[in-house]
Amino acid sequence: MAYVELKSPPPPKGLMGEIAADLEALTKGLAVTLRHLGQKPVTLQYPEERPELPPRHRGRHELERHENGLEKCVGCELCALACPAKAIFVEGAENPPEAPVSIGERYAKTYVVNMIRCIFCGFCVEACPTEALQLKRVFELADYTRESMIYTKEMLLAPAYKKEPEDSWLPG
Amino acid sequence: MIGDLLAAIDWNVVFIILLAFIKAFVIVNVLLVIFAYMTVTERKVMGRMQARYGPNRVGPFGLLQPIADGIKLALKEDITPSQANVWVHTLAPILSLVPALIIFAVIPIGPSIPLGEPGSGSEWTWYIANINVGYLYAAAIASLGVYGIVLAGWASNNKYSLLGGLRASAQMISYELPQGLAALTVVIIAGTLNLYEIVEQQNRAGLPFGLLPIFGWIAFAIYIVSGIAETNRTPFDLPEAEGELGAGFHTEYSGFKWSMFFMAEYVNMVNVSALAIILFLGGWWPAVTGIAALDGVLGPIFFTLKLAFFMFCFIWLRTTFPRLRYDRLMGLGWKFLFPLALLNLTATAVWVALWPRGWWPFI
């Protein structure tokens, strides 16, 4: 077994050597705190300053649309199946041919995400075969009642087609 | 009848007493304002040293924070534990704060300014009382502060508080010895306990005692370390070690009574710093131009600047160092500082005995 032998400084000699070593250690510590006094704090002044989140941050869910305005979601319920927290409920229905909602044969009649249960793991996004479901960089989800934490399809659906390559989790 | 009484009154004495009252009122208020702003300064400086901001929401730059804190503390419910000794529980914070406040009566923060024609003896003084045993008074009153903490720990009827109080008494008694011996070094060199005269001697020589070769340095270092231990500040804040004792002696205190302990701690910091400045750093030096009026005005300013530096160092040390283990604390006091202070004192005494004329031979 190979192991790294830690090299410690040689033990100080005599009482005066010990005192000198102690004083050196104390001075080093004081220098660190004094150096920080002149530096800018790392604190983010949150309500005024906003954090710069990474492009693939997993925040609020969103259901995407196609360029022609139709929903990408085909009501396959794979997201609900993949969800380890059982936070998603999907009820699929036949897509009416005269007034199509999605491009597939079926569409999501109800799509509900319980934000209290959601653990933001992103498995639903990975499971989605049509890239309909995305997790966005919206993180201010706090609210006062349990009822308001149930996000319905109307809340989750993107208003229009969006081309946001920086948000896409798929390569290319 | 009344006319006789009025004629019998020495109006000078009345005036002196009245002036002392006014000065005392001003000093107490100034000390408490210093306390209030030390709390916010400490939190801000400590924050910056830890790469964060500290309080900055209440008022511009968080400057109204102490007022908000004060209102909060004053409005808080004052809880006395049902099994506690009510009288002692109430008396303890007072016993802690009052000694801290009255020490400042003897501390001269600037040179006196003679008023009227020369030789008239009337002068403006920057202290309330100039007593011959100034340092003795300060040391004696400072040790009274221990009673407040011990009684608080005992009266709370809480084992953590009691342990905190016991630790505090052991620590403060231990560190009073090296502190007193370090101060005694200065007293031997100066030949007086009068704080004003000690400062005057340093200024006459143009050299603060703290800069005296070797004896002064050692005494100064011992005084500072013991002073931090005396005020129960980190790294010597064993009595209130929150990790072990749950705030120690003031666990069972809330509201205004708790804030009195808080005030006492900060006012004691001011006292220790002020005494260190007087004994070792020449008081209002370098306001020694010889023009009495100019010195009298500049003196307190220089004194305040030195005080501010000391207070900064208190915060700096608190940010940097972790708390000592209890046996290490006692070991440092009894096995290192005490013998060193004793040796230093003896050496100084021998030196002064060999060269009795002139308070310091090689200047």
Q: Please tell me which of B225-234, B335-344, B345-354 the model is most confident about, judged by mean pLDDT.
A: B335-344
pLDDT of residue B312: 93
User: Nearest by CB to B50, which of A30, A34, A36?
Assistant: A36
A16 close contact with B: CB closer than 8 A? no
AA identity, residue B184: L
Chain B residues with CB-CB distance to A30 below 8 A: 316-317, 320
Chain B residues with CB-CB distance to A32 below 8 A: 320
Contact A33 B45 (CB under 8 A): no
pLDDT of residue B82: 84
- Take residue B257 and report the two structure tokens written for it: 């009574």
Mean predicted lDDT score pLDDT of chain B:
86
Chain-centroid distance of CA B212 in Å reads 23
Q: Is the pLDDT of residue B363 over 50?
A: no
pLDDT of residue B361: 45
The 10s digit of each residue's pLDDT in B184-241 is: 998 888 888 999 988 888 888 777 776 676 788 889 999 999 999 888 887 888 777 6
Q: Is the pLDDT of residue A1 over 60?
A: no
The residue among A169 and A19 whose pLDDT is bigger is: A19
A146 close contact with B: CB closer than 8 A? no
- Take residue A6 and report the two structure tokens written for it: 């830690």
Contacts of B39 (CB under 8 A, 6+ apart): B65, B66, B69, B262, B266
Contacts of B201 (CB under 8 A, 6+ apart): B190, B192, B359
Contact B52 A32 (CB under 8 A): no
3-state secondary structure of A88: strand
Q: What is the enclosing helix (H) or strand (E) of A89?
A: strand A88-94
Tell me what percent of the residues of chain B surpass a pLDDT of 90: 33
Contact B53 A39 (CB under 8 A): no
Tell me the residues of chain A between 34 and 93 that have a Cβ less than 8 Å away from chain B.
34, 36-37, 39, 41-43, 45
End-to-end alpha-carbon separation of chain B, Å?
A: 63
Using alpha carbons, select from A96, A65, A68 the residue that is nearest to residue A162.
Answer: A65
Using alpha carbons, select from B174, B363, B47, B307 the residue that is nearest to residue A41.
Answer: B47
Contact B319 A41 (CB under 8 A): no
Paired strand residues for A106:
A94
The 10s digit of each residue's pLDDT in B251-267 is: 888 888 888 988 998 99
Tell me what percent of the residues of chain A surpass a pLDDT of 90: 30
- Take residue B325 and report the two structure tokens written for it: 């283990």
In the A/B pair of chains, how many CB contacts fall below 8 A? 32
CA–CA min distance B165, chain A (Å): 29
Q: What is the mean pLDDT of residues B258-285?
A: 90
Q: Is the pLDDT of residue A166 over 60?
A: no
pLDDT of residue B255: 84
The residue among B282 and B359 whose pLDDT is bigger is: B282
Residues of B with CB under 8 A from a CB of A: 45, 47-53, 316-317, 319-321
State how far the Cα of B52 lies from the Cα of B46, in Å rounded to an integer.
Answer: 8
State how far the Cα of B267 lies from the Cα of B141, in Å rounded to an integer.
Answer: 13
CA–CA min distance B321, chain A (Å): 8
The 10s digit of each residue's pLDDT in B5-51 is: 888 888 888 888 898 899 999 999 999 999 999 999 999 999 999 98
pLDDT of residue B195: 92
- Take residue A66 and report the two structure tokens written for it: 């196609």
Phi/psi for A62 (5° steps) reads: -150, 140
Q: Is the pLDDT of residue A172 over 70?
A: no
Using alpha carbons, select from B53, B11, B348 the residue that is nearest to residue B181.
Answer: B348
Chain A residues with CB-CB distance to B321 below 8 A: 26, 29
Least trusted range by pLDDT, from A157-161, B69-73, B89-93, B131-135: A157-161
Rg (CA), chain B: 22
pLDDT of residue B357: 56
CA–CA min distance A150, chain B (Å): 34
**pLDDT-derived band of residue B276, with 50, 70 and 90 as boundaries?**
very high
pLDDT of residue B178: 94
State how far the Cα of A135 lies from the Cα of A122, in Å rounded to an integer.
Answer: 7
Give the number of other Cβ atoms within 10 Å of residue B28's Cβ: 14
**pLDDT-derived band of residue B351, with 50, 70 and 90 as boundaries?**
confident
Mean predicted lDDT score pLDDT of chain A:
85
According to DSSP, the β-strands at B123-124 and A88-94 are unpaired
The 10s digit of each residue's pLDDT in A30-87 is: 999 999 888 888 888 888 888 888 878 898 899 988 888 888 889 889 999 999 999 9
User: Nearest by CB to A29, which of B48, B53, B320?
Assistant: B320
The 10s digit of each residue's pLDDT in A123-139 is: 999 999 888 898 888 88
Least trusted range by pLDDT, from B108-112, B115-119, B177-181, B275-279: B115-119
Q: What is the mean pLDDT of residues B59-72?
A: 88
pLDDT of residue B340: 93
